[in-house]
Amino acid sequence: MARAPFTLAGHTIMPGQRLQIDVPVARLYTHTQLHIPVEVVHGRKEGPIMLVCGGIHGDEINGVEIVRRLLRSKAINSLRGTLIAVPVVNVFGFLQQTRYLPDRRDLNRCFPGSEKGSLGGRIAALFRDEIVDHATHIIDLHTGAIHRTNLPQIRAQLQPGSETERMADAFGAPVVLNAELREGSLRHYAQNRGIPVLTYEAGEALRFDEWAIAPGVRGVLRVMRRLGMLAGEQRRRSAMPAELANGSSWARAPIDGILRPKVRLGARVAKGEVLGKVADPFGNDEGEVLSMADGIVIGMSRLPLANEGEALYHIARFDEIEEAETAIENFQSSLTPQPDAMY
């Protein structure tokens, strides 16, 4: 029996077809129409409907490149099910190289949105109705905020034996955070509708970080294989076991000043260890940034200028910290340059 066509945003995609769609979202002051760019790959055989999206925060561009490489992968030529690929959701922020919408709202706090609400609410409602509600599984691609970088990590609400846990295990990031749902986020909306969703966090805003992009592409393909969307096994590299963090917290600047970091991203640290020192330009006043727990640095500020109380180091805590350290070392040692043809 032939598979049914797939319809999205008023367009019909036949089995075995790929189609790029421009979903109208708003107009600029100049009357120029803005669109959310979408590519749909509709496989000939039945399977899950996977949404992979980047750029909900307009300055988080690693996800844009992950989507581009995913769409160039030869593996998806024999896709089972349907792939909905959206490289840039927040087109306003992407054009302005900013996290936010023109009204300074965070699109990832606007879901489920409203057709009669704010600009953020209207875009969230459009994205929800036209794209998100079609998906059976979602991978949402993010980076650290401006001047902050994240170790590659998965954030998800994990229940033992759940589809979300299966996806997180397949992805192959070195760290998994069992993260609470944030109201208004895409993950909150989708999870409450019963759609399993992973958030991949890696790298820094407004930068292409190859050490974040290449594992992101491999991770998405691994999840698709685990779900039966792609044939065969990962031949080049199997996923390394991820370590589940049992919590995390931020170490903050004790005073205003200029930060001199003492540890790197991915470092193992001990409770009370000096992570960095903050001093005024003359060095008259100096304060130490101390780790509040034994753990691993999974995020950190890249800007040396710090205000008192500013979050500088994100420390994840683990029951088995030695295993977590090993997982991160193995992940880092695996990061050899990968040409596009590998994907």
Q: Is 272 left (phi over 0), alpha (psi -120 to 50) or beta?
A: left
Q: Band of the pLDDT at 339, cuts 50, 70, 90? A: very low
Calculate mean pLDDT across residues 143-162.
Answer: 96
* Across 90-104, 106-120, 195-209, 241-255, least confident range: 241-255
The answer to whether 40 touches 8, Cβ cutoff 8 Å, is yes
Per the model's pLDDT, the better-predicted residue between 259 and 338 turns out to be 259
pLDDT of residue 243: 85
340 has a pLDDT exceeding 50: no
pLDDT of residue 233: 56
* Across 25-34, 84-93, 171-180, 323-332, least confident range: 323-332
The tens digit of pLDDT for each residue in 264-290 reads 999 999 999 999 999 999 999 999 999
pLDDT of residue 19: 98
Q: Phi and psi (nearest 5°) for 11?
A: -110, 145
pLDDT of residue 331: 87
Cis peptide before 337 (omega within 30 of 0): no
pLDDT of residue 335: 79
pLDDT of residue 1: 67
CB atoms within 10 A of CB 46: 13
Structure tokens at 160: 């033992």
pLDDT of residue 242: 78
User: CA dist 214 to 65, 129, 167, 224, 334, Å?
Assistant: 9, 31, 18, 16, 11
The tens digit of pLDDT for each residue in 176-196 reads 999 999 999 999 999 999 999
pLDDT of residue 241: 67
226 has a pLDDT exceeding 70: yes
Percent of the chain with pLDDT over 90: 87
Residue 264, helix vs strand vs coil = coil
Q: Band of the pLDDT at 86, cuts 50, 70, 90? A: very high
16 has a pLDDT exceeding 80: yes
Average pLDDT of the chain is 94
Residue ranges covered by each domain of the chain: 6-227, 248-321
pLDDT of residue 343: 37
145 has a pLDDT exceeding 70: yes
Q: Phi and psi (nearest 5°) for 124?
A: -60, -45
Please give the DSSP secondary-structure letter assigned to residue 240: P
Residue written as token pair 């979903």: 23
Calculate mean pLDDT across residues 86-115.
Answer: 97
The answer to whether 79 touches 230, Cβ cutoff 8 Å, is yes
The tens digit of pLDDT for each residue in 292-328 reads 999 999 999 999 999 999 999 999 999 889 888 998 9
pTM: 0.94
Calculate mean pLDDT across residues 147-155.
Answer: 97
Fold of 6-227: Aminopeptidase (3.40.630)
CATH code of the domain occupying 248-321: 2.40.50.100
Residue written as token pair 């060095």: 283
pLDDT of residue 101: 97
Q: Phi and psi (nearest 5°) for 341?
A: -60, -20
Q: Band of the pLDDT at 334, cuts 50, 70, 90? A: confident
342 has a pLDDT exceeding 90: no
Element (H, E) at 226: helix 210-226
CA distance 202 to 11: 33
